[in-house]
Chains A and B, each alone.
Chain A
């Protein structure tokens, strides 16, 4: 499987996650969102960028509980709660946002 980005085919796994996270470019997020009938706004991007920074620092995609807490710390309590994050990413903030960010599925996600 794969997705077309800037005329190149990037390989994805059976659940749609990028196989090689180094191939990620910002366009990946938009194209994946379109496949889910989602239009990305700046609130989505805040979370996507946060996840990429988290991965850069810790080399893992955080579990949803950890993500929620960390977002709260960084972006404020009104964003660090599951209601807000599930509204942005209805398929699950861990799974969906990590996918758009080019990260693997969060460790501990089933």
Chain B
């Protein structure tokens, strides 16, 4: 693959009730491994995927929330969270995982990957993509 495309993954489902969140994460990692330009959006119940403090020990299933911390290593550092979705669920950015990346093109500093945006801003972000994949 020589051509780089702008991929947007739209995540709308809570993490454990269905398989969508994990499937999305796997496809995200594969796309990023092929050096595509990947952005993520978390809206609706998708914001629950990156809630901090998840502990699935008592359910006996895999807790994949630590994997979101690896996204920075995969150069996935454009992660947009819809403010309206957070508000409806009584959440703020402090309730989410702190996802960062190391800025290799600039000063190698740790920078935040997460951007809380309004619905209006999200309209523009979605409009700029070549491929939109919805989970």
Task: List residues of chain A with CB under 8 Å of any chain B CB.
Answer: 57-60, 62-66, 69-70, 107-108
Cβ contact within 8 Å between B70 and A66? yes
Interface size class, chain B: 10 to 19
Q: From DSSP, what is the main secondary structure of chain B's interface residues?
A: helix
Cβ contact within 8 Å between B33 and A59? no
Which 6 A-B pairs have CB atoms at the shortest separation, nearest pair first? Answer: A108-B33, A63-B33, A108-B30, A58-B70, A107-B29, A66-B73
Q: B35's closest neighbor in chain A, by CB?
A: A65
Distance in angstroms between the alpha carbons of A17 and B132 in the assembled complex: 34
A103 to chain B: closest CB distance in Å?
13
Of B26, B33, B69, which contacts A65 at CB under 8 A?
B33
Cβ contact within 8 Å between A107 and B69? no
B63 contacts the other chain (CB 8 A): yes
Distance in angstroms between the alpha carbons of A89 and B64 in the assembled complex: 28
Q: A64's closest neighbor in chain B, by CB?
A: B33
Most buried by A among B29, B34, B64: B29
A14 to chain B: closest CB distance in Å?
20
Distance in angstroms between the alpha carbons of A69 and B70 in the assembled complex: 12
Q: A70's closest neighbor in chain B, by CB?
A: B73
By a CB distance below 8 angstroms, the chain B residues around A108 are 29-30, 32-34
Distance in angstroms between the alpha carbons of A69 and B66 in the assembled complex: 19
A sample of 9 more A-B contacts (CB under 8 A), given A59-B66, A66-B70, A108-B29, is A57-B69, A58-B66, A58-B67, A60-B70, A63-B32, A63-B74, A64-B33, A107-B26, A107-B33
Interface 0/1 of B66-95, CB less than 8 Å to A: 110110011000000000000000000000
Of A59, A62, A107, which contacts B73 at CB under 8 A?
A62
Distance in angstroms between the alpha carbons of A60 and B70 in the assembled complex: 9
